[in-house]
Amino acid sequence: MSSYISLSYLDVALASVFIVLNGLISLAFKLGLARKLLFVSLRMVIQLFLVGLLLNWIFALASPWLTAGVALAMGLFAGREIWARQDKRLSGIWGYGIGTGAMMFSGMLVALVALGTMIEPQPWWTPRYALPLFGMILGNTMTGVSLALDNITTTVDRERTAIEAQLMLGKTRWQAMLPFVRRSLRAGFMPIINAMAAMGIVSLPGMMTGQILSGVDPQEAVKYQIMVMLLIGGATGLGVIGATLASTYRLTDDRHRLRLDMLVQK
């Protein structure tokens, strides 16, 4: 079964009716969201059409260096989103580097393992497989890492008195920070845990739905979706743990002192 129903541009435009309805409701209730809804909708449409053109070009060239360059650009843009979502962030390059580095390392590691041992396209870096897979992993990992980093920085700033009291009592920096590290790890893990718990019962995920609509057998679509979600869960966990521990290390020093001077306000 390989047939699919093609959409016209008019069909795509009709899907915006409900966004327009939401904008009208926002105006009626004076929510101040109408312009934002319009802006993000237009931005999404433009971005996706441009990405579609770019992917056609990349798929046609099938260059490993171009594929690697696009993957790197995706990671750098995602890192910027992580950095922008934090109310308090580490100063200097650390504010951008920790989240980006943890996300890129975990995302690339998991994607490379999947391409080399599970999906096995020929060649393994084939952009048609590598870029969509890496994009799905990266997007979800970005959410977990940004939540974990925002939690650790804001919590440490708020609970500085309790942390410094523990340090004065002779606790090491890791012992004093452990409750807040755990809280941040839970915050980072929560979106993927909720997504996996609801999948198949509350929601049909986008990748699986897209494959079914394009004519793929539902059982085959299910296998791909399970694999992707497990990969996303693994990458998110590694990214969240790496970013949280690195931030904890940066917010303290070898003399077991709290270093809130490393934080800057958004």
> Tens of pLDDT along 217-227?
888 888 988 99
pLDDT > 90? residue 205: no
Determine the Cα–Cα distance for residues 236 and 195; give it in Å rounded to an integer: 12
Q: What was the pLDDT predicted at 210?
A: 79
Determine the Cα–Cα distance for residues 226 and 254; give it in Å rounded to an integer: 43
Q: Which two tokens stand for residue 228?
A: 């992707």
Q: What was the pLDDT predicted at 4?
A: 64
- For the segment 235-249, the average pLDDT, to the nearest whole number, is 96
Q: What was the pLDDT predicted at 201?
A: 74
Determine the Cα–Cα distance for residues 66 and 122; give it in Å rounded to an integer: 17
What's the CA dihedral at 82, 83, 88, 93 to 10 degrees? 140
Element (H, E) at 20: helix 17-28
Asked if 99 and 149 touch (Cβ cutoff 8 Å), the reply is yes
Determine the Cα–Cα distance for residues 117 and 124; give it in Å rounded to an integer: 9
- For the segment 2-23, the average pLDDT, to the nearest whole number, is 85
Long-range contacts of 166-169 (CB under 8 A, 24+ apart): 167/256, 167/257, 167/258
pLDDT by residue (tens digit) across 139-153? 999 999 999 999 999
Q: What letter represents residue 133's amino acid?
A: L
**Residue whose entry in the numeric block shows the structure tokens 């890129």:** 104
pTM of structure: 0.86
Q: What letter represents residue 80's amino acid?
A: R
Determine the Cα–Cα distance for residues 158 and 35; give it in Å rounded to an integer: 34
pLDDT > 70? residue 250: yes
Determine the Cα–Cα distance for residues 231 and 12; give it in Å rounded to an integer: 31
Mean pLDDT across the chain: 91
Q: What was the pLDDT predicted at 265?
A: 76
**Which of the four pLDDT bands, split at 50, 70 and 90, describes residue 42?**
very high
pLDDT by residue (tens digit) across 93-146? 999 999 999 999 999 999 999 999 999 999 999 999 999 999 999 999 999 999
pLDDT > 60? residue 263: yes
Asked if 177 and 166 touch (Cβ cutoff 8 Å), the reply is no
Q: Which residue has the higher pLDDT, 229 or 212?
A: 229
139: left (phi over 0), alpha (psi -120 to 50) or beta: alpha
Residues constituting the chain:
266
Q: What was the pLDDT predicted at 193?
A: 93
Q: Which two tokens stand for residue 76?
A: 């750098």
